[in-house]
Amino acid sequence: MAGKRIVINTIGSYGDIHPYMAIALELQARGHQPVIATSELYREKMQASGFEFIPVRPNLPPPEEQDTETMEKVMEPRTGSHFLLNEMLFPHLRDSYDDLLAAVQRADLLLTHPITFAGPLVAQKTGIPWVSSVLAPCSFFSVYDPPVPPFWQWTRHIQIFGPRLLTAFFKQVMKMYRSEPYDRFRDELGLPYRGSPVFAAQHSPTLVLALFSRLFAQPQPDWPPRQKNPPH
Average pLDDT value for the chain: 89
Give the lowest-confidence range in 57-61, 127-131, 199-203. Answer: 57-61
Does residue 232 carry a pLDDT above 60? Answer: no
CA angle 192, 196, 200 (to 5 degrees): 85
Q: State residue 230's pLDDT score.
A: 67
Residues 74-89 have pLDDT tens digits of 778 677 787 788 888 9
Closest CA to 23 of 132, 100, 136: 132
pLDDT in tens, 18-28: 999 999 999 99
Mean pLDDT within 209-214: 94
Q: Provide CB contacts within 8 A for 202, sequence distance 6+.
A: 112, 114, 115, 117, 120, 132, 134, 139
Q: How far apart are CA 18 and CA 51, in angstroms?
A: 13
122-162 confidence digits (pLDDT tens): 999 999 999 999 999 989 988 888 877 776 666 666 677 77
Is residue 204 over pLDDT 80? yes
Q: In this predicted structure, what is the pLDDT of residue 79?
A: 76
Between 172 and 1, residue with greater pLDDT: 172
SS (H, E, C) 183-206: HHHHHHCCCCCCCCCCCHHHCCCC
What's the DSSP call for residue 231?
Answer: P
Which domains are delineated in the chain?
Answer: 5-141+180-228 (3.40.50.2000)
Q: Specify the range with the lowest mean pLDDT, choosing from 41-50, 110-119, 129-138, 221-230.
A: 221-230
Please tell me the predicted confidence (pLDDT) of residue 108.
Answer: 98
Enclosing H/E stretch for 103:
helix 93-103
Task: Name 136's bridge partners.
Answer: none
For residues 124 and 155, what is the distance between their CA atoms, to the nearest angstrom?
A: 35
